[in-house]
Structure 1
Amino acid sequence: MSLEVINGHLYDYPKYYDLVFGSDWKAEFDFVQDCCKKFVKKPVKRIFEPACGTGRLMYKLADAGFEVAGNDLNPKAVEFCNKRLEKRGHAPTAEVGDMSDFTVKKKFDAAFNMINSFRHLTTEKQAVGHLKCVAEAIKQGGIFILGLHLNPADVGDDYEAEEEWSARRGHLQVNTRLWSMEYHPKTRTELIGFTYDVYTPSKQFRIEDTTTFRCYTRKHMQQLIKKVPEWELVETYDFHYDIDDPIVVDDDTEDVVYILRKK
């Protein structure tokens, strides 16, 4: 049976987005806390998430006793995040805002941006702005946990990538596919296609969307971090999120979590 197709922004469907990207939260949740304990000398009480989306980790950290806040460009995601925080007895601290151009009223002890949200910033100016804004929002000695996929150094015009996975919660199931549609080495941008196949007891449909990511190699990230001297790189990990097993990033490494500390 063919699915009804809806052409829309995935981020406008926070319930489905949260299921797809929020089911596997525990390893990241533990890792954020482990990093705070290992790399910040003072107790971490306040944590910020730029590009927080549905706040899949924010509300878990709030439940654990942290003061949390975040921002995101999508109003529907922010509303979803705040309603969930309020439902669990927390302040609705997510705001609509640009992760490359924001300020905070009171500085935080740590920040995190775990999987590729950073890559939505498609220019070097925006990327630098992001690192500078986060640095300004963090106390001296605080950390920023930044996770993203890198491209191998020898990637060419024929670069292709594809992922598929499923997530289920109760009677709701979403099958997700994402793939590289176009890669432009000169601009370091990649057009990504997304589909959500959504199955509920009463209906089935597909949401189709595209988004553009900026591409980074190991060298690109090294150069970017140097442009924002407020940060020092203290450690690197992969997406296994094992605090006792840091990695050495080479030209073939693809999944990296950078631990940056505010000087």
Structure 2
Amino acid sequence: MSESRAGTSVNPYDNIAEYYDTKYARFDADLDFYVEMVRRAGANARVLELACGSGRVTLPLLEAGYRVAGLDASEKMLEIARNKAIGFKETARFFPADMRNFELGEQFDFIFIALNSFQHLLSQPEQIDCLNAARKHLAPAGLFILDIQNPEIKEQYPADGRLELDSEFQNPKNGNLVQVFLSATAEPAMQQRHYRYIFDEIEADNSLRRTVTSFNLRYIYRYEAELLLDKSGFSIEDLYGSYEFDEYHAGSEKLIYVCRRKA
């Protein structure tokens, strides 16, 4: 068995970029939501996604005819996004940058952070730095969306360190079966969970190629998130509990904030 791991100085998504792109290619639960929200921002809206990854959300917005840009700290993920954007009528721009501290020299009508990506920021100073950078790049009448998980609901996986089969898929390049295993452990005092992913690819000769990565996510409670947004110069226009625009309640899966810059 061969094995590769993400080192401490390496972005945890770099060595799993192709696997990640394939694993989440079929996840589209939020796409209609974002297409509708960008529509509300205007037909000529300039769009920026922070932590865009391999373009899962960015590219459908490009396909819908919007001027889109994506920002991510993983160059490997951006390389996939750029390759997938080839052939579209419109042109997408992708920037290698840290969402905690970026300067693009322009403003956008719609900025968003999708699917819990904000939770990779593990301290309040990091969170505020990110929100301040987003506000700085948001046009005066623009919309900002923050999409995080509601920590009040029970996690899909127990945080007891047990390794569970998460999913399976075929590697589109060679047809090999890839099995994805996941374990989680909790650090309640830090409002964090540690996730460890193992991607086992079974080669044609039945040998195993293993790729391992891990990262922490911080859980953010409702009024904590609202204080962060307020402190960073945002006013909250709407709070949804799902991608179907349902009103938020304690049992909602999501905390989706629709915000504008304060006057």
Q: TM-score, normalised by structure 1?
A: 0.82
In the alignment, the residues of structure 2 paired with residue 79 and residue 197 of structure 1 have an alpha-carbon distance, to the nearest angstrom, of 23
Aligned to 2:14: 11
Higher mean displacement: 88-97 or 218-227: 88-97
Map 1:215-234 to 2 at 5 A: 215-234=219-238
Number of aligned residue pairs: give it: 250
In the alignment, the residues of structure 2 paired with residue 104 and residue 84 of structure 1 have an alpha-carbon distance, to the nearest angstrom, of 22
Aligned to 1:115: 115
Gaps of 5+ in 2: 7-11
Aligned to 1:258: 257
Partners of 2:248 and 2:255 within 8 A in 1: no
Runs of 4+ in 1 over 6 A off after TM superposition: none
Partners of 1:165 and 1:176 within 8 A in 2: yes
In the alignment, the residues of structure 2 paired with residue 79 and residue 87 of structure 1 have an alpha-carbon distance, to the nearest angstrom, of 15
User: CA, structure 1 residues 196+230, in 2 after alignment: closer, same or farther (shift >3 Å)?
Assistant: same
Aligned to 1:57: 57
Structure 2 counterpart of 1:98, one-letter code: D
Partners of 1:83 and 1:92 within 8 A in 2: no
Aligned to 1:20: 23
Cα distance, 1:4 vs structure 2: 4.1
Structure 2 counterpart of 1:5, one-letter code: E
Aligned to 2:9: none
In the alignment, the residues of structure 2 paired with residue 163 and residue 131 of structure 1 have an alpha-carbon distance, to the nearest angstrom, of 35
Cα distance, 1:144 vs structure 2: 1.9
Cα distance, 1:85 vs structure 2: 1.9
Aligned to 1:249: 249
Cα distance, 1:196 vs structure 2: 1.9
Cα distance, 1:206 vs structure 2: 2.4
User: CA, structure 1 residues 183+201, in 2 after alignment: closer, same or farther (shift >3 Å)?
Assistant: same
**What's the secondary structure of 1:24's corresponding residue?**
coil
**What's the secondary structure of 1:232's corresponding residue?**
strand
Map 1:161-172 to 2 at 5 A: 164-168=166-170, 170=172, 171=175
**Percent of aligned pairs with the same amino acid:** 21
Higher mean displacement: 118-127 or 219-228: 219-228
Aligned to 1:33: 35
Map 1:70-219 to 2 at 5 A: 70-88=70-88, 90-91=90-91, 93-152=93-152, 160=160, 164-168=166-170, 170=172, 171=175, 173-185=177-189, 187-199=190-202, 201=204, 204-219=208-223
In the alignment, the residues of structure 2 paired with residue 232 and residue 140 of structure 1 have an alpha-carbon distance, to the nearest angstrom, of 14
